Amino acid sequence: MKVALFCNTRYAGDAPKGVWPVPGHTYMPEVATRSMDRTLEQIKLGDEVGFDWLTVAEHHFAPFSMSPNPNVLAGALTQVVKRAKIALLGPDVPVLNPVRVAEEIAMLDTISDGRIIAGLMRGTPNEYVTYNINPAESRERFQEAVQLIRMCWTEPQPFGWQGRYYQHRSISIWPRPVQQPHPPIYMSAATPESGEFAAQNRLGIGFAFTTVQIAAVAADYYRKQCELNGWVPTPDQVIYRLGMHCTEDDEEGIEDLIEAGGGQPAVGLTMTNKALESAVAKSGYYGRDIDKQRARLQSRGEVRDRIEKGQVLVGTPKTIIAQIRRIKDILGCGVLDLSIGAQMGEKTLRSIEMFGKKVIPEIKAL
């Protein structure tokens, strides 16, 4: 089992809640700078204590994750992370220029000497407002962009692209990836359509904002589709993201999370703006499994319920190892991506350190 650490550059000051886009009238630059420093400090620690990957993600217009371009943050990480891989999970490709994404990732792979994991995402529904892209086009744009990005990385001669959504007369990127033929590609596979596309294109998959039980159904569907396409994915080709807080005492861990706000019902960026979410749903964004997909994004429950659903690892190293074994048994994932959702200062640093020193050595062989 490999473990990734996802430090999501949360703004460390007061900000409006329950809205998206989030107004910036309380924004303080010095707080934001401190927040970035804190993220880099946690990432550096994660690298030192043995995490296999360090993760960055793309979100816009919100203090929850001040990383509108994960590749910029990954550029900083190449200078901080000495050992681990840097996982881009990832650029929201349908709202971006795919050639630019291919160039940036190739650049990062070159600077990091081949340590980049290339997650290519559709993004959460709200991100379609960010750059004014019609969410009805999301899936087709995504599928075309992934194939264009892969060709940018692998085609040695200048080529043009006459697509449905992207048109280029001549492309020949420099630098090109260090990893050959290209960095490992992952995508979200929460929907059946995504599972089919990943299987057809031999891509790895990842799950976030879900439960381990729901993810297991989607992962089984993906594996069946892979079989139909004549290949078998490795365990490392399934990533599962969840929260983590590691402590000396089980009850203390739960109390810490409740105190930090993790016990309150909370929703993701999309569901904070009902009108937006509803319009995105009407566009066909969610695909043929719409009801399940929308239900999945509804509020999270209290901490004990979230442990049961595989949404958070919490407690002592021993407890957490048992929780990981259970998730592995249900889902068969080879990579856990651990999110530091609630920031708790010194407690968070201790949690990362304890996980690295006491949990990682015990689960490597899983």
Partner 1 sequence: MFSEAFVEADGFSIRYLSAGEGEPLVCVHGAGGLRISRALELLSARHKVYALELPGFGQSAVNDRTADTEEMARTVAAFAAAVGLAKFNLWGNSFGAKIALQLTVQNPESVRTLILVSPAAIRTTPRPVQGEPTPELLYAQPEKHTIAPVSAEVSAKQRALVQRLSGPPRDEKFEASIKGLEVPTLVLFGTRDRLTPPENGRIYRQLMPKSSLMMIYDAAHAVDADRPEAVCEVVGDYIERHDSFLVTRQNGMIHP
Which residues would be at the binding site for partner 1 (CB under 8 A)?
A: 144, 147-148, 151, 155-164, 166-167, 169-170
CB of 283 to partner 1, least distance (A): 20
Among residues 61 and 159, whose Cβ is nearest to partner 1? 159
- DSSP symbol at 49: T
Pull the structure tokens for residue 315. 């407690």
CB of 285 to partner 1, least distance (A): 21
CB of 150 to partner 1, least distance (A): 10
Neighbours of 77 (CB within 10 A): 27
d(CA 66, CA 118) in angstroms, rounded, equals 20
Among residues 170 and 234, whose Cβ is nearest to partner 1? 170
Among residues 157 and 234, whose Cβ is nearest to partner 1? 157
- 3-class SS at 203? coil
DSSP string, 173-197: -SS--SSSS-SPEEEE--SHHHHHH
Among residues 105 and 148, whose Cβ is nearest to partner 1? 148
Among residues 116 and 146, whose Cβ is nearest to partner 1? 146
CB of 90 to partner 1, least distance (A): 22
CB 88 within 8 A of CB 119: yes
Among residues 110 and 201, whose Cβ is nearest to partner 1? 201
Q: Which residues contact 188 (CB under 8 A, 6 or more apart)?
A: 121, 122, 194, 205, 206, 207, 208
CB of 144 to partner 1, least distance (A): 6
- DSSP symbol at 334: S
CB of 152 to partner 1, least distance (A): 11
For residue 9, the surrounding DSSP H or E stretch is none
Helices 29-48 and 70-77: crossing angle in degrees, nearest 10, is 50
d(CA 303, CA 63) in angstroms, rounded, equals 23
